[in-house]
Structure 1
Amino acid sequence: MHNPYRDRDAQALWQLVKLEADATAFAELHARFSAKLYALAYRKTGDSDVSEDLVQDLFVTLWVQKETLTIDKTINVYLFSALKNRILSHFRKQLLRNLVPLDDVYPEVLVSHSANVVQDWIQLREVQDVYLRELNNLPEKSREVFELSRSGLANKEIAEQLGLAEKTIEFHISKCLRVLRVKLLYMVGLVSALLLLH
């Protein structure tokens, strides 16, 4: 059976969703864009579960806020911009919770249409610079242990690899976290500090 919604452009579908709460139009938008959005998220995060969650959250928010949401751009531009914001937020939380440097994982955000995204990215780069500088200032053995722990090795594996006691590994990691957190608190503010110390 022919689906008349497939013949409508994305903007017309969005208007049906926004003005009439048309679930079929919403389903068509989802079918039309979800795979491309997932591909973008996966390309940036490298994590299928995270990518699925980001895309799902985007569409849930779109539906829940459909009546109050104001989209100045076309719906397709909005979806990809909103996803980029979510990807950036994911990296911010990852950095704050795990003290993982971002490297150059998402430089394309600098060409985003959102001024807030650019501002957030600059702030994140500043936090990363502080993180890397303070990491390099740590004693060599502590830094080595900490970097191995961030690479995914268990404390026991690090202890075996370096020929140290597991308690010594725990001490080095705790010491590094204390030092780095104190230095990063200044950069990320009170809200982020609460995340760091959670």
Structure 2
Amino acid sequence: MMGVDGSAALTPEPVDSEAVRKAEAARAKAEHDQEFAAFAEGSYHTVERILRATCWDREVVQDALNEAYLHGRVQWLKIRTYTEPIGWVIITARNKIRKELHRRQREAAVAPEDLPPAPHIDIADAWEAQETLRTWLHHLPSRQAEVFQMSREGFSNQEIARFLGLAENSVRSYKQAAKKRLRELAEEAGYRDSDGRRRQGGSRGPQ
């Protein structure tokens, strides 16, 4: 019986390059899935608050958000390279909302004279204040409301300008106009400071 040739015994088995490629692709996909899931979880509610500043219909906002994130998942390899992926989500969802509202032939704005009176609510109640502010934002021009809410979420003037395609000076003007109008609405509605004093003309309203 012949012995086994030593060199033949040490010859490595051929590598299945296709199997290696598939395994690497699966590993990369799993990493990207986890990365996108973390991004979506961390940004969803921020984007939702920004969009609800200009659209009263929660269902329309949520549908647009879900579509935007589904699209974002498909395009994640590209979107993840952006400086601010959240900006892409905001713009995409906002465009979907506009299309849906146009399709339904609905108006997002409410006439100022329809503002519900709330003369005796203490603005110190955080939840009540949040809901009231959301109501007031719908009485502002949509661009003012959008800029104001993005500012509240911590976006800088430069970031807002980049996301919305505006000049920084325009962003500052929209913010100032929004704050002025919100103060007026607070005073008209008779809101009081936490110490019970009624807000008078010229006092500071919601920030």
Q: TM-score, normalised by structure 2?
A: 0.36
Larger Rg: 2
The structure showing larger relative contact order (alpha-carbon pairs under 8 Å, at least 6 residues apart) is 2
Instruction: Return the structure number with greater helix share.
Output: 1
